[in-house]
Chain A
Amino acid sequence: MNMQDLLFLVPLLPLVSSIILLLLAGRLSPMLVAVFGVGSMALAAILTLLIGIEFLGMGGDSFQQVLFNWLPIAGAPLNFGLHLDQLSLVMMGVITGVGWMIHWYAAAYMFGDKDVQRFFVYMNLFVFAMLMLVLGDSLVLLYLGWEGVGLCSFLLIGFWQHKADNVVAAKKAFIVTRVGDTAMMIGLLILFSEFGSLHITTIVDSTVQVSQSNLWLACLLLVGGAVGKSAQLPLQTWLPDAMAGPTPVSALIHAATMVTAGVYLIARMHPLFLQVEGILNLVAWIGALTLVLAGVAALAQTDIKRILAYSTMSQIGYMFLGLGALAFDGAIFHLMTHAFFKALLFLTAGSIILKMHHQQDIFKMGGLFKSLPLTSTFLLIGLLALVAFPGSSGFFSKEAILAATYEAHTAGPTLWWIGVLGAFLTSLYSFRLLFIVCFGPANHDLKEADYKASSQLVVPLLPLVTLAVIGGFISLDFSLVFGPAHHPHIPLWIEWMPVAASLVGFILAWALYFPRKAMQANDGVISHFCRDGLGFDWLYEQIFTKPLQLFARINKSDVIDHFYHFVGWLNFSLNEVLVISQNGKLRWYLFGTLAGCALMLGGLLWWR
């Protein structure tokens, strides 16, 4: 039997587990919940591995699996079908592999929570939706996954829903990303009218002559969808608030998988982007601006998870830069290594938060190297990969992107310099985090005995640590999707410049943030401005939220209804006027009759 024929099981397993957990809500012991929740992921990951081995062994030709007829669109019916190629295989590997580790960790992290079963319903459903996103063979199926992950993200951000703040953050994430989704939907409409189909391979392989301006617009709108999901400018505002969810959620959804969906979308549809002028250039600029902006914002944060959130935003900015610089393989490579080290970072942050009794403020930690040596070491390893320490996984992928940026005609040296600036910022905020959290005196009053360590919180981290270190040596072959790999020839100084920038960042961080005494957050105006995400929230509130709320307040009773009220009032008033005339007084009636006659006679004479 071919393993590939079992492809449908990979998304099906988490879906079935999710449905079982939903239907048996409240009837399973926490242990059994973990068995279903994590077990389905383990099976899916192992199956992915087996399928991947067979797939690569057979040369990497793409493979289709039609499950059933889905949408009988007149003239262009769509199947519910899966499409496996080199790109979706890598994505599937990241989702199930990293996802498995995060689920495992989450089982321990959430063990005491009374709603742990609901948690795994959402988590498994999320994995299903994410797998549909990367395996779907049509843009509609991709959109199904796209909306599905959005829904799960919404549910998981607001998982602790008794807190009003979490609920607001969840709503914000859903609505802001849905703005992008709508752009994407309009893009689909244009693509359908141009190509007459929404099947991905049909569109990208199409030889039909299409209108360039429409294609340009469609690509722009797809980028709109991508920036929403991937938290890039100008739709980036939801991601930091999304940290309200449980930390494993942040690791899985808001670092490793869902937020990289935009990168996947552009990479998947890249043949379209190559046909039009200027859009890839725009993608590169979006990435570059976001990576700097997020890096600056990360510098001002005090909450450990928000630092990591801005860092994620910034790293996805690198991926967008890579996409814009035609380094599609480099972008996906960075997507993969980023999934390793950022998942690791979030999970270590989760361990720290748990052990600090849900304290997330880095200025209330301090000196953790002594009390939590293992966790701190993991944090260090993750951060080194993040700043692209030579030899670590992040080094290879970021290097690939920056080298391509320098050369590409859609990017160029200016964007490369911005990327280098980003490397400096990354290093600065990473070591700021490390120094403040792990060194210096302790800024909390927890005793040794308060630290509870669970081996289940450590074991799942080991594969991630390993991959964060050596993941850069995994060689990915995308030749059948993106064409033969392109190795840029650039001067040596350009290759080492980012490393030098990181080193400068490290030294500056040492000088500024290494705690010689108890540290305090900077409270200046600029710090506040950066901490609040550089004013975007304020701006959007003025432009969108407030007018909408104003409209809702003013027009709650529906202005159009007032017109009908007026008609009603007019009738009642006329009625009252006429009632006055019927007062039972004979002389009034007589007068009325005579006046009427006179009027009619007069009128008659007049007209004659």
Chain B
Amino acid sequence: MVALSFLIWLPLIFGVFAWISENKFKSSGNWITLISLSGLLIFSIYLGINGTSSLSWEWFARFNIHFALLFDGLALLLVILTIALAMLAVLVSWNDIEKHRGFFHFNLMFSVAGIIGVFLAADLFLFFLFWEVMLLPMTALILIWGHEGRRYAALKFFIFTQVSSLLMLVAIIALALYHQDQTGELSFNLGQLQQLVIPENMQFWLMLGFFIAFAVKLPMVPFHSWLPDAHTQAPTAGSVLLAGILLKTGAYGLIRIVLPLFPSATMEFAPVAVTLGVISIIYGALMAYSQTDFKRLVAYSSISHMGFVLLALFSWHEVALQGAILTIVAHGISSAALFSMAGLIQHRIHSRELGKMGGMWASAPKMATVTLIFVMAGIGMPGMANFNGELFTLLGSYQQFPVQTIVASLGIVLSAVYGLHLFQRAFQGPPNVDVVDLHMRELVFTSLLVVALIYFGLQPHIVLDLSSETISSLMQIAGEAHP
């Protein structure tokens, strides 16, 4: 289906279009980006509604590399999330960007194209290509429109991702060569590679190559330290995309590549990965509490939340896998929402320091209420999306790794500690600073986020229905690996 590839081309084309148009007519870029993203959203739903579709064009015939895309339920879910959060990124930085506005929109759309590519790729070479493609515009976003320490943060982000993805490249090539060794033909196709029977020892090293790349992206302690800097220094739109989607590509890689390709190595490695996940949960939460910078705090809380995803995936229990998917979606929304609030506050008081905030409820009650809801969602208030993810994760993981899961549960207390620290320092106490309350545009998109968080809290069905195919196939693989 040719139309499938439009999901990748269109954002690029519209990105260029917005760039040119913005340079001709000021602030037309916002509208073009927003409208084209809405169109893209409808288009992706239209494509995905009829079930799985795929596409495969011959590309480098000599190496048997194909331009192969696969658009199933899980991919649809994440593409929708990507586009929706990109729209949020546009809305939240409507007036924020002062220089090179056209180029900004181009970069935004460029990274959307790269991320959608990662979610669609069914060929490992293509996957790697998009993995690199999405890195460039994001680095540019941080480097050009970031805050005071942007050079350092962009460099750090680039090096961490680059080094780790080199390991992945080595693993990809080794995998393709092994396929040649076994069948006489090179292959980068995910479906074909899944048929390979790889000896345990080799599985482990290949798995590790992919795992480290994805663990850096996730991020997992101790590979996390690029994230607080990147998040803090990125412009709001960058933070929204980073936290909302970019981190999820790490989880997506685990789901799509590591688990199905290397099941027995994964299971063998699971105790280590789960323990690292639990360490991420606890350490991330403790570090979040230690911060006084609004964005840095939220960044560390993301590490804590993504630890739940790692715990869930490597537990490889059906309920836990459901929990992982729910957490991916929920954290995508809630962390993007919190970073938006950070952006709105920074736009008003030109600071991210909690010490410079305080008592803002008095002057901005709407902003306070919305932030409170986001914080509560983030710390797992039942009835909102994140709680479902955590509950499913804990219920499922407990069956496989009871001790680690119990330690992970302590994250519930710690999340309350940092969540209240954030909210109370900013909005309660004696008024320290007067801010302008949310105006119409801001109220609209923050309300939509609130509705989304509560909707997915009460009706997680759509998320789980879309991912049920992936989950059941993973459970089947698990059954075969451990009969």
Q: Is the interface of B mostly helix, strand, loop or mixed?
A: helix
- Asked whether any CB of chain A lies closer than 8 Å to the CB of B383, the reply is yes
Interface residue from B228, B291, B428 paired with A167 (Cβ < 8 Å): B428
A492 CA to B343 CA, complexed, in Å: 72
- Asked whether any CB of chain B lies closer than 8 Å to the CB of A75, the reply is yes
**Most chain A Cβ neighbours within 10 Å, of B228, B394, B399, B420:** B420
Which chain A residues lie closer than 8 Å to B359 at the CB level?
Answer: 161-162
Contact A182-B412, Cβ < 8 Å, known A162-B430, A167-B429, A564-B225:
yes
- Asked whether any CB of chain A lies closer than 8 Å to the CB of B416, the reply is yes
A558 CA to B416 CA, complexed, in Å: 21
A563 CA to B394 CA, complexed, in Å: 32
Tell me whether A186 and B362 are in contact (CB under 8 A): no
- Asked whether any CB of chain A lies closer than 8 Å to the CB of B289, the reply is yes
- Asked whether any CB of chain B lies closer than 8 Å to the CB of A242, the reply is no
Which chain A residues lie closer than 8 Å to B361 at the CB level?
Answer: 161
Interface residue from A72, A144, A162, A186 paired with B409 (Cβ < 8 Å): A186
Stretch of B103-111, B245-253, B458-466 at the chain-chain interface: B458-466
- Asked whether any CB of chain A lies closer than 8 Å to the CB of B171, the reply is no
Which chain A residues lie closer than 8 Å to B412 at the CB level?
Answer: 178, 181-182, 185
- Asked whether any CB of chain B lies closer than 8 Å to the CB of A482, the reply is no
Tell me whether A164 and B430 are in contact (CB under 8 A): yes
- Asked whether any CB of chain A lies closer than 8 Å to the CB of B222, the reply is yes
Interface residue from B319, B413, B458, B461 paired with A179 (Cβ < 8 Å): B413
Question: Of all chain B residues, which has the CB nearest A177?
Answer: B416
Interface residue from A74, A162, A170, A190 paired with B431 (Cβ < 8 Å): A162
Tell me whether A182 and B409 are in contact (CB under 8 A): yes
- Asked whether any CB of chain A lies closer than 8 Å to the CB of B410, the reply is yes
- From 129 to 171 in chain A, residues with beta carbon under 8 angstroms from any chain B beta carbon are 140, 143-144, 147-148, 151, 154, 158, 161-164, 167, 170-171
- Asked whether any CB of chain A lies closer than 8 Å to the CB of B286, the reply is yes
Contact A560-B428, Cβ < 8 Å, known A70-B458, A182-B410, A551-B286:
no
Tell me whether A193 and B225 are in contact (CB under 8 A): no
Which chain B residues lie closer than 8 Å to A561 at the CB level?
Answer: 225
Tell me whether A548 and B417 are in contact (CB under 8 A): yes
A175 CA to B417 CA, complexed, in Å: 7
Contact A71-B286, Cβ < 8 Å, known A171-B424, A174-B416:
no
Tell me whether A151 and B381 are in contact (CB under 8 A): yes
Tell me whether B413 and A175 are in contact (CB under 8 A): yes
Which chain A residues lie closer than 8 Å to B53 at the CB level?
Answer: none
Tell me whether B224 and A22 are in contact (CB under 8 A): no
Tell me whether B381 and A147 are in contact (CB under 8 A): yes
Which chain B residues lie closer than 8 Å to A69 at the CB level?
Answer: 461
Which chain A residues lie closer than 8 Å to B398 at the CB level?
Answer: 189-190, 192-193
Tell me whether B458 and A80 are in contact (CB under 8 A): yes
Which chain B residues lie closer than 8 Å to A26 at the CB level?
Answer: 365
Indicate the size class of the contact surface on chain A.
35 or more
A80 CA to B361 CA, complexed, in Å: 34
Tell me whether A75 and B318 are in contact (CB under 8 A): yes
- Asked whether any CB of chain A lies closer than 8 Å to the CB of B301, the reply is no
Distance between B262 CB and nearest chain A CB, rounded to angstroms? 24
Interface residue from B383, B409, B460, B471 paired with A189 (Cβ < 8 Å): B409
**Residue-wise interface mask of A (555-577) relative to B, using a CB-CB cutoff of 8 A (1 in contact, 0 not):** 11010110110000000000000
Tell me whether B224 and A560 are in contact (CB under 8 A): yes
- From 166 to 217 in chain A, residues with beta carbon under 8 angstroms from any chain B beta carbon are 167, 170-171, 174-175, 178-179, 181-182, 185-186, 188-190, 192-193
Which chain B residues lie closer than 8 Å to A74 at the CB level?
Answer: 318-319, 322, 471
**Most chain A Cβ neighbours within 10 Å, of B291, B429, B460:** B429
Between-chain CB contacts (< 8 Å), 30 pairs: A22-B369, A70-B458, A71-B391, A73-B319, A74-B322, A74-B471, A144-B383, A147-B381, A148-B383, A158-B428, A161-B427, A161-B428, A162-B431, A170-B424, A170-B428, A175-B416, A178-B412, A178-B413, A182-B412, A182-B413, A185-B412, A189-B406, A190-B398, A193-B398, A193-B399, A548-B289, A558-B225, A558-B228, A560-B224, A564-B156
A contact set with B: CB distance below 8 Å: 22, 25-26, 68-75, 80, 118, 140, 143-144, 147-148, 151, 154, 158, 161-164, 167, 170-171, 174-175, 178-179, 181-182, 185-186, 188-190, 192-193, 548, 551-553, 555-556, 558, 560-561, 563-564
- List the 4 closest pairs (A to B, CB-CB), nearest first: A552-B290, A144-B382, A561-B225, A161-B428
